Amino acid sequence: MKIVITGAGGQLGKELLQLFKEEGYMVFPYTKQQLDITNRAKIKEMIEKIQPDYLINTAAFTQVDLCESDIDKAYLINGIGPYYLACEAKEKKVKFFHISTDYVFDGEKIEPYMEDDSPNPKTIYGKSKQLGEALVLDAYESSTIIRTSWLYGHEGKNFVNTIKKLARHSLEMRVVHDQYGCPTYTKDLGIALKDLLTKPHGIYHVTNSGSCSWFEFATEIVTFLKSQTVVIPVSTEEYGLKTPRPMYSVLSQKKLNSNGVSLRNWKEGLHEYLKKEDDENGH
């Protein structure tokens, strides 16, 4: 089985490359330097050359604040690029998987979001990702869209690595206590994605189970690291974020579970991640 991964230089792309190689798939990874997903001719050329069974798109412009100032780039990479990939995948009957985000929702619910809840993004990042979802399904109805949240993986810029750094060098840190979501380890997302290769197409919410606030997430990291750094809870308003974030973006896993796929609790995933990072860094 041949799998193409676009956005292979990112933390999820790297995780999927390793996972599928270990599972015995022939994996063809493309970083943004190797394949510009906004160049339809290059996508066509690549698919014709490789003739993959699966195409997984992890490429995205995910810097929330930068999306607000570089709107064209956000819509191009998060909207038009996935559309081109879906069009070419359909043309060659390649199974297409596209990674999306909790930011397609407004964060105003007080219970987990279901797959069929109406998207209502509040940021350019969320709007561009929602456009990507809509265009993908319009172009290729039998695509699978995977929405995830609060993602962290090895060799990536993410919340866990930021908190780890602060825990080593700062006496205290301020972390938002009134935004809730599901931290998700790229390894666990990858394992679930592998299971979804053989499941019915559609939209799936895929995160580790359970939920927490950013403050609880940070506290768990600092506690695990046995750091003396004090984690101070602050409100979103006090913290003063440049771009609004969803206040509540917990994603329901009911549909995923009913298809026989489940992910462990976020704390278990986090502990394994931190232990592995420790081992790799020789601590």
More confident residue, 242 or 34: 34
Contact 193, 16 (CB under 8 A): yes
Segment 199-203 mean pLDDT: 98
pLDDT(223) > 70? yes
Residue type, 23: E
Digit-coded pLDDT (tens) for 95-109 = 999 999 999 999 999
pTM, whole model, 2 decimals?
Answer: 0.96
Residue type, 128: S
Mean residue pLDDT across the chain: 96
Q: DSSP letter for 241, please.
A: -
Percent of the chain as helix, strand, coil, to the nearest 5: 45, 20, 35
Digit-coded pLDDT (tens) for 105-123 = 999 999 999 999 999 999 9
Digit-coded pLDDT (tens) for 50-91 = 999 999 999 999 999 999 999 999 999 999 999 999 999 999
The pLDDT of residue 57 is 98
Active site residue: 25, 125, 140, 180, which one? 125
260-272 CB burial, b ≥16 within 10 A, e <16: ebebeebbebbee
- Closest C-alpha among 148, 177, 171, 173 to residue 162: 173
Domains in the chain, CATH or no CATH each? 2-156+184-209+250-264 (3.40.50.720)
The pLDDT of residue 283 is 54
Digit-coded pLDDT (tens) for 154-190 = 988 999 999 999 999 999 999 999 999 999 999 999 9
Q: How far is CA 17 from CA 8, 200, 201, 243, in A?
A: 7, 23, 22, 32
Digit-coded pLDDT (tens) for 28-47 = 999 999 999 999 999 999 99
Alpha-carbon span 114 to 96, nearest angstrom: 22
pLDDT(282) > 70? no
The percentage of residues in the chain with a pLDDT greater than 70, rounded to a whole number, is 99
pLDDT(280) > 90? no
- Closest C-alpha among 116, 236, 258 to residue 176: 236
The pLDDT of residue 279 is 79
Catalytic, 239? Answer: no
